[in-house]
Chains A and B, each alone.
Chain A
Amino acid sequence: MKARRRRIRFAWDALGLLIFVVLAFPVFWMVSSAFKPDEELNGATPTWFSLHPTISHFRDAINRPFFWDGIKNSLIVVSVTVALAMVLAFLAAIALAKFRFGGRKAFIVLIIGIQMLPQAGLIIPLYVVLARYHQVNALSGVIVTYMTFVLPFSVWTLRGFLLGIPKDLEEAAMVDGSTRVGSFCRILLPLVAPGLVATSIFAFITTWNEYIFARVLLNDQSKQTATVWLSYFTGTSRNTDWGGLMAGSTLIAIPVIVFFLLVQRKISFGLTAGAVRG
């Protein structure tokens, strides 16, 4: 009986390992290809690891036209969007977590509903309206667009974090004679800081990964974001620089993977994680 149970456990483990390989392989292959010399990439027999790794592909990738423009634009768009969104979303989250008020339900419907809108369906209205206000081909147009996607899930997530703060702590502060604003600054803010960081990271990932609107709203290559830069990498030529492409992909994926690992434990609550999906 015991031996049988052990065999079953072993079979499950073997299956688990196989699935791990399938899941992780594309990521492994991206990184491993990025370090391979061209003759290994184009050879008849692929190698798993290169015994002669090279960083020349990374050099090529960052020296390609508009790489640094893309990174710079992405960083501008991401930081402005996240900073603005966090301030606005935090205020609304306080309203949702700490107050009852008429129209509260309508507000919840609004922020949940917005997240369901298919982005493709919004290309045309946003393009036409932003064109009217000369916000096409401007980072500001992309920033305001991203705000509408980041705000709803930030409000929802921050509300969750605020609810997680024990009421006693807040009340204890008030008994000590501090005002509501005072208790907010001294008690609430430090407690909710981890939540703010986690939500900011989610917002960072969403914004960094975004593709459709950056592609549609930014025409100049010097204005495009990192993901759009990467999507144009292959170009139209038949001879793709696979090593360079994988090096560029790795560079753009790294910040996301690192941040993702940081907030991984907080991911399991539903919608937030959903928002991270492209």
Chain B
Amino acid sequence: MTSSEIPSGTAYAAEAALRPRRRRPFTFARLLRGAAPYLLILPVVATIVAILGYPLYHLAQLSFQKYGLFELIAHHGTSVGWANYSSILHDHVFWDVLVRTVVFTVVNVGLTIGIGTLLALLLTKVSTIVRVLLTAGLVLAWSMPPVVAVQVWTWMTDPQNGIFNYVLTKLHVGDYSQHDWLATPFSQLSLTTSLVVWGAIPFVVVTVYAGLSQVSHELVEAAEIDGARPWRVFKDVTFPIVKPIFLILTSLSIIWDFGIFTQPFLLIDQTRINTSNELMGIYLYEEGYVKTDFGRGAAISILMLLIVAVLSIVYVRRMVRMGDEAA
């Protein structure tokens, strides 16, 4: 894999320029050299094992136990075998939530990558001033903390005084005065999608645009002179070059959107969160934490972690190969 396949940036460009390693002339480090890297990574590894590794081990245990509030205080659960898993897998709510989360993920990732790519292509067409403006807009959207963005969305879609309803009514899209955007599960999840996609697009645009700038003009022009239409140019010339970037962006987006929590949790009014609109992260929170049935929650967590682990194989493998190249 060459550096041109990686989302650009100084750090990665430098990797390509890396020289073969020479033997270091000094002796003081000879003894330490073998141990040094391990000493250097030790603090990080120890922290991760203690704060993440142990809880994950505990999570696996919990998922086979009855563990509620009483057990939490007593620090001791009672083993129930596979009961938590079988109760979840036999619960149609779990399957509903799974299907809903998959559909939500596909729609959100599709919109994010699709719109993001179109905007990146647009950036190559506009004049410098518009490009600077557009980049500024992207950075603004990107930098909004999710919790803040949720509050702004709530205000903009307020049935009474929200700007959404006002503008839609003014544009004669229909009578949207007093329209409640959180009335139905579909509407709730669509609103969540608009918020998520808005926040996720900038990362995609900036990354794809950086990738596009590595596609040589001569190549595109040659294809155009040969009479290729814009779609063909994109499909046969541009896309193959930026394909690795899409692979990384898509798998990252899938993982993020599948595990999404904050945006739907806060945007959909607490009183309206129920089994008809829950996504996986929220379902798990409600079943395990709110109902203080930690054993069952642990089993859902394990299932969710397994699903995400499978989803992230492509990404992790690619990143590891990249990280292994240098040094």
Residues of chain A at the chain B interface (Cβ within 8 Å): 9, 12-13, 15-17, 19-21, 23-24, 26-27, 29-30, 33, 41-43, 45-46, 87-89, 91-92, 94-101, 103-105, 107-114, 116-129, 131-132, 144-145, 147-148, 151-152, 155-157, 159-161, 163-165, 167, 171, 174-175, 179-180, 205, 208-209, 211-212, 216, 227, 230-231, 233-234, 240, 242, 245-246, 248-249, 252-253, 256-257, 260-261, 264, 266-271, 273-274, 276-278
Contacts and interface: CB of A to CB of B under 8 A. Distances in A.
Contacts of B231: none
B284 to A, nearest CB: 6
A278 B298 contact: no
Interface residues of B, number: 120
B192 interface: no
B134 to A, nearest CB: 5
B140 A27 contact: yes
A233 B136 CA distance: 29
B43 interface: yes
B126 interface: yes
A95 B75 contact: no
A188 to B, nearest CB: 13
A12 to B, nearest CB: 4
A230 B207 CA distance: 31
A174 B130 CA distance: 49
Q: Is the interface of B mostly helix, strand, loop or mixed?
A: helix
Contact of A123 (B24, B56, B285): B285
B126 A13 contact: yes
B2 interface: no
Interface in B287-324: 288-289, 294, 297-298, 301, 304-305, 308-309, 312, 315-316, 319-320, 323-324
Interface stretch (B89-97, B144-152, B218-226): B144-152
Q: Determine which residue in B40, B67, B125, B305 has the highest number of CB atoms from chain A within 10 A of its CB, and name it.
A: B40
A121 B141 contact: no
Given A23-B137, A101-B37, A256-B145, A125 B298 contact: yes
B102 interface: no
A246 B147 CA distance: 12
Contact of A118 (B43, B75, B126, B259): B259
B108 to A, nearest CB: 13
B87 to A, nearest CB: 16
A127 B289 contact: yes
B41 A20 contact: no
B145 A252 contact: yes
Contacts of A273: 203, 206-207
Contact of B37 (A104, A109, A249): A104
Contacts of B304: 118, 120-121
B137 A24 contact: yes
A1 to B, nearest CB: 14
Contacts of B282: 120
Contacts of A108: 319-320, 323-324
B207 to A, nearest CB: 6
A124 B62 contact: yes
B200 A114 contact: no
Nearest to B297: A124
Contact of A129 (B54, B130, B248, B315): B54
Given A16-B131, A27-B141, A99 B37 contact: yes
A160 B289 CA distance: 38
B43 A88 contact: yes
Interface in B17-74: 18-19, 21-22, 24-26, 28-29, 33-34, 36-38, 40-41, 43-45, 47-48, 51-52, 54-56, 58-59, 62, 67, 72
Q: Determine which residue in B52, B137, B309 has the highest number of CB atoms from chain A within 10 A of its CB, and name it.
A: B52
Contacts of B130: 12-13, 16-17, 20
Contacts of B137: 19-21, 23-24
Q: Determine which residue in B19, B126, B200 has the highest number of CB atoms from chain A within 10 A of its CB, and name it.
A: B126
A246 B152 contact: yes
